[in-house]
Amino acid sequence: MTETPRPPTPLSTIADPAPLGLAAFALTTFLLSAKNAGWTDGTDAWLGYAFAYGGLIQLLAGMWEFRNRNVFGATAFASYGGFWIGLGLYVRWVAPTAAATAAATKANPEHLIQNDLGWILLAFAIFNTYMLLWSTQVTAAVFGVFLTLELTEVILFIGNLSHSSGVIKFGGWVGVLTALVAWYASAAGVVNGMGGRYALPVGGPLGGPRAVETAPVTQ
């Protein structure tokens, strides 16, 4: 009895979605961090991009990472895509109700919003902690993104829960650094994936096993 041969598993025809996801994350993070740092004089320029770029595009990148069987990339991009969409929904529809809640409880409406944001950021800092640990097995550039993001989230949740404008402003500065690191990782992914004459270093996994050097065999 002969076994029917199985057809070969087709190779993925999807390009690496990570540079796109990183670019979406970087730009939206930059816009919000610039506001937190006190650089902008407008309203909420980041809000539309939280839905369209940092949210939708990152979510799509996460789905494409699932197609590429990249569990880490899929979890990271889809989660932070959801983060931006959720934050946009909160600012657009939930935060405006703070005035009515404050009137009923005799609280400061701005403090109510900051308390909400503090808990949101704390929750994502917990998620980001184990993603930071596992990012050591990807590249140094990806680790840099998660490290600076961890610092941003921790500083901002402390600033919001303590109602400290100075700490929030400092968190904005660190957030800008996070965006720049993410933009670098995105740029490296784009140019390195082109297979041309130019390339940007991203580093290897941190703490990986060292290659064992063996003496040449002589006869």
Read off the DSSP letter of residue 43: S
Is the distance from CB of 202 to CB of 139 less than 8 angstroms? yes
pTM across the whole model:
0.87
Please report the pLDDT score of residue 141 as a whole number: 97
Identify the H or E element spanning 192.
Answer: helix 165-193
Q: Which segments of the chain have a pLDDT < 70?
A: 1-13, 208-219
Structure tokens at 7: 């057809």
Please report the pLDDT score of residue 152 as a whole number: 98
**pLDDT tens digit string along 198-219?**
999 999 998 765 444 444 444 4
Please report the pLDDT score of residue 8 as a whole number: 53
DSSP three-state, residue 106:
coil
What burial letters (b/e) apply to 17-41, b meaning 16+ CB within 10 Å?
bbbbbbbbbbbbbbbbbbbbbeeee
Please report the pLDDT score of residue 142 as a whole number: 98
